[in-house]
Amino acid sequence: NFYDHLVRGSVNPNIALYFSRMGGGRKRKAAVANTDPQPRRQRRSSSHRNSSSEMWGGSGSGSSRRKGGSSSRGGSHRSGGSSSNINEAAAAKIFANIADADDPSVASMEGISKLCEDLGIDPMEDVRILVLLWKMGANRNPAQINKDEWIQGCTKLQTDSIDKLKSLLPSLDTGFLDQTEFKDFYKFCFQFNREGTHRTLDKDLVIMILQMVLKDRIASDRLSTFTTFLEQSKDESYSRITLDQWTSFLDFCYECEDISDYDEATSAWPVLIDEYVEYMETQK
């Protein structure tokens, strides 16, 4: 795990979130076991307004600035790279410096931590390392990037040196991502931080990643109340979070800016969201 290892002095936290919506009648709490998610119920249509436009602070390091206009400077993770004249051997040399000693075709969390040191960023606080890995397409296995992904990512990003990677850092700010791109990146953050075949993330890890990834994308009070709700919950079914629960929280933030008309009986949200709304009502 990316952040688990970091917290232990190693390099990474990976656990997983995954809430399943239950069909028919009153929703039941999703099982924590690693089973396939239940079918989703249809959610109310929404304009998906992005409330983050009012949430950006002033200038600062990492992802704390609001970016205006198009996200084209940052580029989409899905956009194809132009034909490249990068020095592939130089890019491969960077990878060799961070690759695992017992498997030089893979760079896992220790290597990624070393890359952060070379770039002068803090992997515990700077979301841009996750944006970089997302843009490079590090999605074959959790908590690692393989050599093929690295070379393809360097080709797409037109970089073959640490200095060029450093020059990319400003464009990796999440403020350059439009809502669709950010939702894809947000899902990647969950998947990348899984451990092995685990399909859920530990609650404490979820809280840590949410605070790093969402701090400039949703209202600060929504983020703080949700993380406090998770911290205080004694419900064992919330000790690990599912992917559905993870993605539903972001969708909920986009779609339900005002919870005054929230109707638990007719909502199609996971029960976690219902109970979070109940918690917010008690805090008024």
On whether the CB atoms of residues 142 and 136 are closer than 8 A, the answer is no
pLDDT at 85: 85
Percent of the chain exceeding pLDDT 90 equals: 67
Instruction: Note whether residue 74 is domain-resident.
Output: no
Instruction: Note whether residue 49 is domain-resident.
Output: yes
Instruction: Note whether residue 71 is domain-resident.
Output: no
Instruction: Note whether residue 83 is domain-resident.
Output: no
- Say whether both 158 and 197 belong to one domain: no
Instruction: Note whether residue 63 is domain-resident.
Output: no
pLDDT at 95: 99
**284 pLDDT band (50/70/90 cuts)?**
confident
Q: For tokens 């239940």, what's the residue?
A: 38
Mean pLDDT of 236-242: 98
| Beta carbons within 8 Å of 9's beta carbon, 6+ residues apart | none
What's the burial of 237, exposed, middle or buried (CB within 10 Å: 0-12/13-18/19+)?
middle
Q: What DSSP line would sit under 173-209, residue for residue?
A: -GGGS-HHHHHHHHHHHHHHT--TT--EEEHHHHHHH
How many structural domains compose the chain? 2
Q: Is the pLDDT of residue 158 over 80?
A: yes
Q: For tokens 């999703």, what's the residue?
A: 30
What's the burial of 131, exposed, middle or buried (CB within 10 Å: 0-12/13-18/19+)?
buried
| Beta carbons within 8 Å of 62's beta carbon, 6+ residues apart | 121, 125, 126, 127, 128, 173
Mean pLDDT of 108-122: 98
In angstroms, rounded to a whole number, what is the distance separating the alpha carbons of residues 51 and 112? Answer: 32
Which range, of 3-7, 12-16, 84-88, 189-193, averages the lowest pLDDT?
12-16
Q: Is the pLDDT of residue 209 over 70?
A: yes
**1 pLDDT band (50/70/90 cuts)?**
low
Q: pLDDT, tens digit, for every residue of 240-265?
A: 999 999 999 999 999 999 999 899 99
In angstroms, rounded to a whole number, what is the distance separating the alpha carbons of residues 113 and 24? Answer: 46
Q: Give buried/exposed letters for 92-117 (b at 16+ CB in 10 A, else e).
A: bebbeebbeeeeeebbbbbbbbebbe
Q: Is the pLDDT of residue 270 over 70?
A: yes
Tell me the one-letter amino acid at 24: G
Mean pLDDT of 226-235: 98
Most confident among 39-43, 69-73, 143-147, 196-200 (mean pLDDT): 143-147
pTM (2 d.p.): 0.75
The domain that holds 158 is classified in CATH as 1.10.238.10
pLDDT at 108: 98
Q: Residue 151's CB: how many other CB atoms inside 10 A?
A: 18
Comparing CA positions, the residue from 169, 216, 178, 223 lying closest to residue 58 is 216
**2 pLDDT band (50/70/90 cuts)?**
low
> Containing domain of residue 197, as a range?
2-55+179-282
- Say whether both 274 and 197 belong to one domain: yes
Instruction: Note whether residue 67 is domain-resident.
Output: no
pLDDT at 259: 92
